[in-house]
Each structure stands twice: as structure tokens, then as C-alpha cells.
Amino acid sequence: MTVERDEVLTADPAERAGAAALLEVRDLRIRFTRGGRRVHAVNGLSYRLDAGQMLAIIGESGSGKSVSARALLGLLPSSAEVSGSARFEGTELIGMPEREIRRRRGRDIAMVFQDPARSLNPTMRIGAQITEAIRAHSGIGRKEAGERAVELLKLVRLPAAERRFHEYPHQLSGGMRQRVVIAIALAGEPRLLIADEATTALDVTTQAQIMQLLVELQERLGMAVVMISHDLGLAASYAQHVVVMYAGRAVEYASAGRLFGHVRMPYTRALLGAVPLLEREPHAPLPVISGQPPDPAAIPKGCAFRPRCASATGRCEQAPPFSEHEPGHWWACWHPAEDPPGGSGGGGGGGEDGATR
């Protein structure tokens, strides 16, 4: 499938004509070669994110969420073949020289990973790690950077920040470590924070607290956030817009309220399961969809969801275009679900204009 240049996502048709996006990903493609086989990890992904907004990218394991995010920061192994475009404030990130992208990493876009333990140096005190990150970005003196580090620890609501400053990662709980990792990500004052399954390893209560923190930072700092998650409930509660990925492509995109009230793509419906999202247990795991996600070394031609889709017909052997079928609502499907008469579609409730939080 090729995405037409004018088919790039936008929250509001007016914005398409005018204001520049913070991040505009167009027809991103990522291939690896593994054991002599070509792995098609990302196959024409397009989305747009405006400054200060939160976008959730959701999908099953292997759908290309992480590699597409890492590509923005030049964090893929050199074996990866990357094509397409990702413009941050108008500047092309794909193919940017390593020196330049390294300079921008953490300053324009910072990333928080799933496992806070692995993101921290176990042999260094918390304070020293944040101070080092601040100095790497700003070059200010050690004392001033130390003061700023304590401020950052307070900003991420680490309890007893001054005391924790002198502690090692193992002395902190998982939730506290994740706050420290976020503080480090904030050291370069990024305009975009990518949180890749940043709350998955945490218990439900801590997960909600960290999401609340991200929302607070988004609002206070005017920082945009991409949250990558398996958890539709989490996406619906916190993000303004949602991209659903399947086999390395976006298959549905809309505001959170719109999407969960008017699901169109059978894959998204399957993710939601029979139970309307807003009636599900918060943070329930994704329902299991029958069949397997496609092997990225052998993605079916046409609609990649076809072999698992109850609505599939012969027409689905042709790839459906990913386009804006209803205002602000994009999907790639020949047989989109309709809203049931007299009510909203599969997701139950939700407004048109974004988050339900």
C-alpha cells in the first residue's frame, strides 16, 4: 500500500491546510534482513502529531511500534533499511547524519523505555545520573546542574527528592525508578517524549500514577507525548488521538473519543473485544484475537488482517487505502463496521473531540 502524500493524518482538516505539525511521519518503511529473510517490520506508516498533544500507538506484539519510534531517534541497528519521511518541526529525521541526530536526541525528542532498571546505571547515584544528563544537554556547571536535577526529581514527583538524589537505583521502587528515568528524559527539555511501554512493567496503581504524571508534564511543559502501549484502556483514558497499528501499518486513526465510540476497522473491534471499552475493567489486557499476527517476513498481500477477519471477502486481496473516510477518522478497510442504529459503535460512548480522562 502506498499512502498518498495528502493522506497524512491530521486531527482537524483545517490544520492540514495550515499549521505545521510537530511530528509528521509519512510512509515510513523499515526492513531488516534476518537469517537471509527480509523482515518487513514497518510498511508505510503515516501519522501526525501536533505540539503538546498525546498520541497513543497501539497494536499487538510485533506490529512495529517500537522500531518505528526508534527510527525517529536513529536508534536502529545499522542493518535496518529505513525509508520514508519523519519531519520534526519540518526537519527530516530519516537519513540525518549520526552526529546531528545524536545532538538532537534528548533535546528535541526523548524516549522512555519499558524497563527502568535497564535504563539506569546501577553503580551510579540517581542525582549523578540526572546531573550528567543535564550537563550533556546544556553544558552548565556541576552545582547548577545538581540544583536543576533536584528540581526535575520534584517535577516528576519523586518523594523525598533531596534524599533520593543520593541513593542508588536499587534503593528505589519500580515506580520511583520510572520517575527517575522520566526525569532524565526531561533533562534536555524535549518537545516530544516517546514513552515505549513505559508503564507496562508496573502494577496497575503505579501505572495510573505514571500516566497521570505524563499528562501533567504534557500540560505543564507543553510537551507532546507518544505513548506506545498494548493497553487500549490506557490509551483511551489518557491520549487525545490513537493510531492502531497492524503488520507495520496504521489501520485506524481518530481522536480517542471518536475511535472508541465509532470503531470501523475489524481489527480494532477485535482488540476491543465484545465488551465496550468504557465498560471493561481498567487496564485489562488485550483480548486474544484468534489467529496469529502475520510473520513480518511473509505479510499477506492485500489487507494483512484478512486471514483473521470475519468480514473478509475477495476484495480484501487488494490493499484497502488508509484514508480519511469521515472527518478526523481514518481507516484502511473495505468492510468497515457501522454504528449500531440508535447508538454508538463498538466502543460505547465517548465524545468526538478526544480524551475521556
Binding site for ligand ATP (CB under 6 A): 32, 34, 39, 41, 59, 61-67, 77, 230, 296
Residue 39 or 223: the one with the smaller Cβ distance to ligand ATP is 39
Q: Does 66 bind Mg ion (CB under 5 A)?
A: yes
The closest alpha carbon to 56, from 224, 270, 284, belongs to 224
Q: Which does 58 bind (CB under 5 to 8 A by kind): Mg ion, ligand ATP, none?
A: none
Q: Which residues of 32-57 are buried (b: 16+ CB within 10 A; e: fewer)?
A: beeeeeebbbbbbbbbbbbebbbbbb
Q: What is the closest distance, in whole angstroms, from the C-beta atom of residue 67 to Mg ion in the complex?
A: 8
Q: Which does 77 bind (CB under 5 to 8 A by kind): ligand ATP, Mg ion, none?
A: ligand ATP
Residues that bind Mg ion (rule: CB under 5 A) add up to a total of 2
Span interacting with Mg ion, options 1-9, 59-67, 79-87, 132-140, rule CB under 5 A:
59-67
Span interacting with Mg ion, options 61-69, 255-263, 309-317, 347-355, rule CB under 5 A:
61-69
Q: Which does 62 bind (CB under 5 to 8 A by kind): ligand ATP, Mg ion, none?
A: ligand ATP
Sequence-distant (6+) residues with CB within 8 A of 340 are: none
Residue 196 or 324: the one with the smaller Cβ distance to Mg ion is 196
Q: What is the closest distance, in whole angstroms, from the C-beta atom of residue 65 to Mg ion in the complex?
A: 5
The set of long-range contacts for 9-15, using a CB threshold of 8 Å and a minimum separation of 24, is 9/46, 9/47, 9/48, 9/243, 9/250, 9/253, 9/324, 9/330, 10/48, 10/328, 11/48, 11/50, 11/53, 11/240, 11/241, 11/255, 11/328, 12/328, 13/324, 13/327, 13/328, 15/50
Q: Which does 64 bind (CB under 5 to 8 A by kind): ligand ATP, Mg ion, none?
A: ligand ATP
Residue 61 or 123: the one with the smaller Cβ distance to ligand ATP is 61
Helix (H) or strand (E) holding 9: none
DSSP state, residue 304: T
Residue 65 or 283: the one with the smaller Cβ distance to Mg ion is 65
Q: What is the closest distance, in whole angstroms, from the C-beta atom of residue 230 to Mg ion in the complex?
A: 9
DSSP state, residue 118: H
37 strand-pairing partners: 34
Applying CB under 5 A, which residues contact Mg ion?
A: 65-66
